Amino acid sequence: MRQKTFLVTLVFQLSACGGGSSPAQLSNNLSVETSVETSVETSVETPAPATPIAAPSISQMSFSAANNSGLVADMVLSKTETNADFTGRVLTNTPVTELVASYEFTGSSVTIDGVTQESGASVNDFTEIVVYTVANSEGTTESYSVDLTKFTGLPIIYLQTDNASPIDSKDEYVSGDVSIDGGRSFTDLPATEMKIRGRGNSTWFIHPKKPFQMKLEDKAEFLGMPKDKKWLFLAEYSDKTLLRNKITFEMGYLSNLDWTPQGRFAEVYINDRYNGTYNITQKVEESDNRVPLGGSGYLLELDQLERLDADDVYFDSVITDRFLINIKEPSLEFNSTEYTYIKDLLDDFETALYGPNYRSAIAGYAKYIDLDSFVDWYLINEINKNQDSKSWSSMFVNVMPGEKIKMGPLWDFDLSFGNVDYSDAQYSDGFWVKFHPWYERLFQDPAFVEKVKTRFAFFKQNENIILDKIDAYGEQLQWAQQQNNDEWQTIGMAVWPNPVVFDTYQEEVDHLKSWYSNRMEWLEAAFAEL
């Protein structure tokens, strides 16, 4: 700082009055000039501006193959533009429970839940989202979440058969064990004894990706679904969206049907080899947590003779040769008392339905059937224009003694939403299930028609819910469909019985949505004219 000097002069002069001054006067006259020069230096220091302490931050996050033996290549995470999060995906089925992250940061320390971290050295479990906290010397902090997707983000099921035996039969079970890596969504399942075999009809014989039925030794929860022994693995090979069964079940949850199967998407490994993305579902069967028959009811399926197993017990429809009625549960003998009871009940219903007084509440079909279930089952299958539900198979009926016949549960929709090339079911216009023998007759009753029209309005009001579900599940499968296609090479290829072929998964999903919307529009107009 510059120095300042102050000079102070004091003059005092005393003189006698009159002329000149004598020596005496000089003695008496005092002339004093005092000059005092005082120099005071004051120095005040003002500090130069301090270098600001940088805000804490993480600018880069990665996982190097050198530090993580399960990685085949370095993985650099993406940083979102809207927040401080890092996201990435481990492309292989590599455990994420012990990974070492590397990062560049500004600050004095990095911690996770108060534990100090070292870039390129600290080991952490990334099964769930991990939050890094960066602090600077002033104590300012910033948090960064690291969201790491393992493989496809879906739970992973491991099927291990004894001696790595192939699952190549619909009739004979193969023993082994099953375990689940539930990821973030479901509880892990340790190795559990099971038996597994093939299932399905065309899906088993035609397609290379096979569906399965698994049976546990004891009832257990599976992917969050209620406890039971039998679980089905739907391959969804011909449905490139992988969504048709799942979306139809969502429609069932909106309906008045007593029970609709639950399903979960999962990745499946068989004897350490990846086998694709599956829809793991509950089996349609009598059980406390499934079809509610109370141990005394009947589960029936409208089916075809060529589709039956050798030990199936069935009877023919009295009104048509287009289908028969297979008694799925309980296990009965031909011509037993129970067999005769259920056969007579269905015969009486069909006879009344096609009788002259079929509209009568006392003598007609209404005496025998639960109308709400018949209406909702019809509408869901008509909306989807399901190929098989017109007369072929997978049409379930359930009966409790002393109660009316109910339609349902819903089942088998891989050939729905236009996914068939050998019938008019591929087109979004035109009635389909309406021409099933039962419904063909029911539609001749104006009272039934009005019930259908009124109930359709409900499904129309909920159309956007279903469209949103398609989008949501499509997003859930964004990585799974890629992995599944890498294994089976179906996208962009003609697969029986697809009527159209698209080059991308998103185009397949968009086609499903478009077909559904067009179908709802056509049905709305068609029902209005009935």
- Tens of pLDDT, residues 144-189: 999 999 999 999 999 999 999 999 999 999 999 999 999 999 999 9
Q: For 55-84, how does the pLDDT look when each residue is reduced to its tens digit (9 = 90+)?
A: 999 999 999 999 999 898 999 999 877 666
The predicted structure's pLDDT at residue 292: 87
The second-level CATH assignment, the architecture, of 57-150 is Sandwich (2.60)
- From the list 77, 122, 84, the residue with the least C-alpha distance to 101 is 122
Pick the more confident residue, 20 or 168. 168
The predicted structure's pLDDT at residue 403: 95
pLDDT at 202 over 90: no
- From the list 488, 518, 490, the residue with the least C-alpha distance to 502 is 490
The residues spanned by each domain of the chain are 57-150, 163-282, 298-529
The predicted structure's pLDDT at residue 83: 60
Q: For 119-152, how does the pLDDT look when each residue is reduced to its tens digit (9 = 90+)?
A: 999 999 999 999 999 999 999 999 999 999 999 9
Token pair 């739907």 in the structure block, residue: 234
Q: Is the dihedral of CA 380, 385, 389, 394 positive or negative?
A: negative
Token pair 């069935």 in the structure block, residue: 314
Look up the pTM and report it.
Answer: 0.88
> Sheet holding 57-63: strands in order across?
75-76, 57-63, 102-106
pLDDT at 337 over 60: yes
Q: Is the peptide bond before 409 cis (omega within 30 degrees of 0)?
A: yes
* pLDDT tier at 251, thresholds 50, 70, 90: very high
DSSP one-letter code for 498: -
Q: Is the dihedral of CA 380, 381, 382, 386 positive or negative?
A: positive
What is the 3 state secondary structure string of 461-504? HCHHHHHHHHHHHHHHCCCHHHHHHHHHCCCCCCCCCCCCCCCC
* pLDDT tier at 24, thresholds 50, 70, 90: very low
Distances (CA, A) of 339 to 27, 292, 316, 395: 158, 20, 13, 19
The predicted structure's pLDDT at residue 84: 62
